[in-house]
Structure 1
Amino acid sequence: MPSLTSRLFGPGFSPVFWWILSQLTPAAIIVVAARVLHSFDIIHIPTILVALTSLLSIPLLRVVRVLFRRWSVGRRAARMGAVLPPSWDGQKFGNMDLVKIGMEGWKKGYPGDGFWTNSQVDKMVGLHSVTLLGDTMYVATDANILKTILATQFHEFEKGDHFKYAMQDVLGEGVFNADGWHQIELIHFIFISRFHRAMTRPYFTRDRISHFEMFDRHADFAIKKMKAHFQNGHALDFQDLISRFTLDSATEFLFGQCVHSLKYDLPYAYNDRPSPAVATAAKGAAARFAEAFSEVQDGLAFRLRVGWTWAFQEVWKGRTDVHMEVVDTYLQPILEEAVKKNRSLVAKPEKEAEDDDDETLLDHLVKQTQDPKVLHDETLNIMIAGRDTTAATLTFAVYLLCLYPHVFQKLRAEVIEKIGPTQLPNFDDIRTMKYLRAVINETLRLYPIVPFNVRVATKDTTIPNPNASKPPIFVPAGTAVTYSVFMMHRRKDYWGPDALHFDPDRFVDERLNKYFTGNPFIFLPFNAGPRICLGQQFAYNEMSFFLIRLLQNFSHMELDLNAQSPDSRPPPEWLNHEGHRGKEKIFPKTHLTLYVLGGLWVKMTEAEREEL
Structure 2
Amino acid sequence: MVYVTPGVDFLAKGFLILGAFVGTIITLNSSVAARAGYHIPTWMLLAGTTIAIPVLSTIYKMMENLKIGYPGDGLDEVMAKRGPVFNMRVLWSDLMFTASPEHIKAMLATDFQNYVKGERFHYNMESVLGTGVFNSDGTSVPFHRSITRPMFTRERISHFELFDRRASQVIDKLRERLREGYAVDFQDLMSRFTLDAATEFLFGNCVESLSAGLPYPYNATYVPPIKRTAKGDAANAFAHAFLEAQEVISVRERYGWVWPLAEIFKDKSYEPMKIVNSYIEPIVKEALEKKRNLPIREKGKEPSDGETLLDSLVRVTDDPVVLKDETLNIMIAGRDTTASTLTFIIYMLATVPNIMNRLREEILSKVGNSRRPDYDDIRDMKYLRAVINETLRLYPIVPFNVRESVNASTWKSDDPNQKPFFIPAGTKTAYSVFMMQRRTDLWGPDAEVIDPDRWLDERLKTYVSKNPFIFLPFNAGPRICLGQQFAYNEMSFMIIRLLQNFTSVELHPGSAPPEAHPPAVWAEAGGRKGIEKVFPKMHLTMYTNGGLWVKMTESDGTN
Normalised by the length of structure 1, the TM-score is: 0.84
Q: 1:401 to 1:285 in 2, by over 3 A?
A: same
Cα drift, residue 468 of structure 1: 2.5
Q: 1:54 to 1:579 in 2, by over 3 A?
A: closer
State how far apart, in whole Å, the 1-side matches of 2:547 and 2:538 are: 13
State how far apart, in whole Å, the 1-side matches of 2:155 and 2:438 are: 35
Secondary structure in 1 matching 2:134: coil
Cα drift, residue 566 of structure 1: 2.1
The answer on 1:153 being equivalent to 2:101 is no
The answer on 1:103 being equivalent to 2:56 is no
State how far apart, in whole Å, the 1-side matches of 2:26 and 2:65 are: 42
Residue 301 of structure 1: aligned partner: 250
Residue 419 of structure 1: aligned partner: 367
State how far apart, in whole Å, the 1-side matches of 2:167 and 2:70 are: 32
RMSD: 2.9
Q: In the comparison of the two structures, how many residue pairs are matched?
A: 551
State how far apart, in whole Å, the 2-side matches of 1:441 and 1:17 are: 48
State whether residues 445 and 486 of structure 1, in contact with CA within 8 Å, keep that contact through their aligned partners in structure 2. yes
State how far apart, in whole Å, the 2-side matches of 1:8 and 1:525 are: 38
Q: 1:470 to 1:318 in 2, by over 3 A?
A: same
Secondary structure in 1 matching 2:506: strand
Q: 1:123 to 1:224 in 2, by over 3 A?
A: same
Cα drift, residue 23 of structure 1: 4.2
Identity %: 50
Normalised by the length of structure 2, the TM-score is: 0.92
Secondary structure in 1 matching 2:89: strand
Q: 1:293 to 1:95 in 2, by over 3 A?
A: closer
Residue 333 of structure 1: aligned partner: 282
State how far apart, in whole Å, the 2-side matches of 1:99 and 1:268 are: 35
State how far apart, in whole Å, the 2-side matches of 1:439 and 1:245 are: 20
State whether residues 535 and 545 of structure 2, in contact with CA within 8 Å, keep that contact through their aligned partners in structure 1. yes
Cα drift, residue 409 of structure 1: 0.3
Residue 404 of structure 1: aligned partner: 352
Residue 79 of structure 1: aligned partner: none
Residue 124 of structure 1: aligned partner: 82
Cα drift, residue 460 of structure 1: 1.0
Cα drift, residue 8 of structure 1: 5.2
Q: 1:18 to 1:524 in 2, by over 3 A?
A: farther
Query: In structure 1, what residue type is equivalent to 2:373?
Result: P
Query: In structure 1, what residue type is equivalent to 2:273?
Result: M
Secondary structure in 2 matching 1:135: coil
State how far apart, in whole Å, the 2-side matches of 1:310 and 1:364 are: 37
State how far apart, in whole Å, the 2-side matches of 1:467 and 1:610 are: 57
State whether residues 30 and 53 of structure 1, in contact with CA within 8 Å, keep that contact through their aligned partners in structure 2. no
Q: 1:596 to 1:5 in 2, by over 3 A?
A: closer
State how far apart, in whole Å, the 2-side matches of 1:327 and 1:109 are: 30
Cα drift, residue 344 of structure 1: 2.3
State how far apart, in whole Å, the 1-side matches of 2:224 and 2:288 are: 43
Of 217-226 and 296-305, deviating more is 296-305
Decide which of 390, 396, 400 is 1:448's aligned counterpart.
Answer: 396
Residue 539 of structure 1: aligned partner: 487
Unaligned runs of 5+ in 2: 29-38
Q: 1:379 to 1:523 in 2, by over 3 A?
A: same
CA offsets per residue over residues 10-56 of structure 1, 9 Å max, x none?
A: xxxx9x987665544445779999xxxxxxxxxxxxxxx9x959985
Residue 178 of structure 1: aligned partner: 136
State whether residues 536 and 544 of structure 2, in contact with CA within 8 Å, keep that contact through their aligned partners in structure 1. yes
Query: In structure 2, what residue type is equivalent to 1:380?
Result: L
State whether residues 26 and 54 of structure 1, in contact with CA within 8 Å, keep that contact through their aligned partners in structure 2. no
Decide which of 220, 224, 249 is 2:172's aligned counterpart.
Answer: 224
State how far apart, in whole Å, the 2-side matches of 1:321 and 1:59 are: 34
Residue 566 of structure 1: aligned partner: 514
CA offsets per residue over residues 403-432 of structure 1, 9 Å max, x none?
A: 010000000000011111111111111111
Unaligned runs of 5+ in 1: 34-48, 64-92, 181-188
Q: 1:340 to 1:160 in 2, by over 3 A?
A: same
The answer on 1:289 being equivalent to 2:248 is no
The answer on 1:248 being equivalent to 2:206 is no
The answer on 1:505 being equivalent to 2:453 is yes
Cα drift, residue 513 of structure 1: 0.4
Q: How does 1:466-477 map to 2 (within 5 A)?
A: 466-477=414-425
State whether residues 94 and 132 of structure 1, in contact with CA within 8 Å, keep that contact through their aligned partners in structure 2. no
Q: 1:95 to 1:267 in 2, by over 3 A?
A: closer
State how far apart, in whole Å, the 2-side matches of 1:474 and 1:2 are: 44
Query: In structure 1, what residue type is equivalent to 2:3?
Result: S
State how far apart, in whole Å, the 2-side matches of 1:54 and 1:579 are: 48
Q: 1:156 to 1:264 in 2, by over 3 A?
A: same
Query: In structure 2, what residue type is equivalent to 1:403?
Result: T
Query: In structure 2, what residue type is equivalent to 1:145?
Result: H
State how far apart, in whole Å, the 2-side matches of 1:424 and 1:362 are: 28
